[in-house]
Chain A
Amino acid sequence: MMIYLLTMVLFGVGIYGVLRQRNLIKMILGIIIAEHAVLLFFILVGYRLNGRAPILSPDAPITNMVDPLPQALVLTAIVIGLGTTALLIALAMRLYGKYGTYDIAKIRELRG
């Protein structure tokens, strides 16, 4: 219960970063942090108290394993996040090339 709340705090910090920061790199950092929180939450949901990693061993049968499904999905989500982050960084670097700054206040020319 408490641990879930702390994860939500981490998510909130990340979203706060995206909304609050006026620097492109910091916005990307905010997204990465929020994503970390979601991934952590997913693993927490599948955790079993005193569980074992879901890898069988040749000698002894293991009964108390954690849920393997969230782990598989989180693996997928990590790689998706990496792809998105790389694209965001490439865009930010190109914008730096055009404007010479990462500061949003100096970049935003377009009207909302």
Chain B
Amino acid sequence: MVELYILLILMIIGSVVALEVKDLLSSVVALGAVGLGLCLTFLVLKAPDVAITQLVVEILSIIILIRATLKKGLPMVATGGWAFPSVIGVGFGVVLLLVAIQCFPDLPKFGEPMLRVSQHYLDQGLKQTGATNLVTSVILDFRAFDTLGEVTVLFAAALGVLAVVRTRGRKKLEQAGAIADE
């Protein structure tokens, strides 16, 4: 399990770098490293489906993010002078950790999940759905309704992006009574 710790610590370092470095392009690249670390962690945790999806999704979102940051004369990110949000941010993190330390003994031990419902998927998945990839059998048969929702979220996001990038949202007013008095 050492590799898990190493990967996680690298991810944390990467995300701190991504958030603190002054150049936007560098921080996006650092985020790419974090995403790659996440993908490797999924592989270590025996989740190949998730790893593949995470990898390609990460590539796509990094391309879009780089597209957003590739501009001429983009100034370095200014920091400092914002003491209050910093205190809130750090305070939130510390409180979260303290609460989490209190809570984690209630969780099942790491590496020993309860597998109440999932045991059924493991035992009966092939027989009942015919899919040898059990994750697929869950996605598209046992819990296919979630997948419909997920497809719809992506649909809504694509429509939303297309709606947001319109240059003109309103038609020109031609009515006589409509006098904006500004």
Contacts and interface: CB of A to CB of B under 8 A. Distances in A.
Contact of B57 (A5, A16, A78): A78
A69 B46 CA distance: 13
Interface residues of A, number: 78
A88 to B, nearest CB: 10
A85 B62 CA distance: 11
Chain B interface residue number, banded = 35 or more
- Consensus secondary structure, chain A interface: helix
A43 to B, nearest CB: 5
Contacts of A85: 61, 64
A68 B122 contact: yes
Nearest to A76: B150
A3 B92 CA distance: 20
Contacts of A22: 77-79, 82, 85
Contacts of B46: 47, 51-54, 66
Contacts, number: 260
A44 B109 CA distance: 11
Given A68-B138, A71-B50, A12 B153 contact: no
Interface string B137-151: 111000100110110
Nearest to A30: B19
Given A25-B24, A86-B161, A74 B97 contact: no
18 contacts: A6-B5, A7-B8, A12-B97, A13-B15, A16-B19, A16-B90, A21-B77, A25-B24, A25-B27, A40-B41, A43-B42, A65-B134, A67-B113, A68-B135, A74-B50, A78-B53, A80-B153, A90-B165
